[in-house]
Structure 1
Amino acid sequence: MRTVRRALRRGEPVFIFDSEDREGETDMVFWAPEVTPDHVAELRRTAGGLICVVIHPEHAREIRLPFLVDVYERADHPLLRATWPDDIPYDERSTFSITVNHRDTFTGVTDEDRALTVRKLAEFFTRNHEDPVREFGEEFRSPGHVHLLRPFDGLLEERRGHTELTATLLELVGLEPKVAVICEMLEPGGGALPREEAERVARERGAPFLTGEDILKAWKGGER
Structure 2
Amino acid sequence: GLTRHAAVAPPPSSPHEIIASCHENRKAMACEPFGRASVVAGLEALKQGKVIVVTDDESRENEGDLIMAAEFASPETIGFIVRYSSGVICVPLPSKRLDELELPPMVVNNQDPKQTAFTVSVDLKEGTSTGISAADRAATFRALADPSTKASDLLRPGHVFPLRPRDGGVLERDGHTEATMDFCKLAGLHPAGVLCEVVNDDGSMARVPDLVPFCKQHGLVLTSIADLIAYIKETNGGPLP
Q: What is the TM-score with the length of structure 2 in the denominator?
A: 0.75
Q: Which residue of 2 aligns with 1:211?
A: 224
Q: Which residue of 2 aligns with 1:195?
A: 208
How does 1:77-156 map onto structure 2 within 5 Å?
A: 84-86=109-111, 88-89=112-113, 91=114, 93-104=115-126, 105-123=128-146, 125=147, 127=148, 136-156=150-170
Deviations 1:11-40 (A, max 9, x none): 211110011010000000111111111112
Deviations 1:181-215 (A, max 9, x none): 11100112222112121122222232211111101
The letter for the 2-side match of 1:17 is: T
User: Which sits farther off after the overlay, 135-144 or 25-34?
Assistant: 135-144
The letter for the 2-side match of 1:10 is: Q
Q: Which residue of 1 aligns with 2:76?
A: 38
Shift of 1:48: 3.2
How does 1:50-61 map onto structure 2 within 5 Å?
A: 50-57=88-95, 59-61=97-99
The letter for the 2-side match of 1:137 is: A
> Runs ≥4 in structure 1, deviation > 4 angstroms?
none
Q: What is the TM-score with the length of structure 1 in the denominator?
A: 0.80
Structure 1 vs Structure 2 CA RMSD:
1.9
The letter for the 2-side match of 1:161 is: G
Structure 1 gaps of 5+ residues are 74-83, 128-134
Alignment partner of 1:11 is 2:33 = no
1:41–1:22 CA distance, 2 compared to 1 (3 A): same
Shift of 1:49: 3.8
Question: SS of the counterpart of 2:121?
Answer: strand
How does 1:149-188 map onto structure 2 within 5 Å?
A: 149-175=163-189, 177-188=190-201
Higher helix share: 1
Shift of 1:94: 2.2
Question: SS of the counterpart of 1:97?
Answer: coil
Identity %: 30
The letter for the 2-side match of 1:46 is: Y
User: Which sits farther off after the overlay, 97-106 or 202-211?
Assistant: 202-211
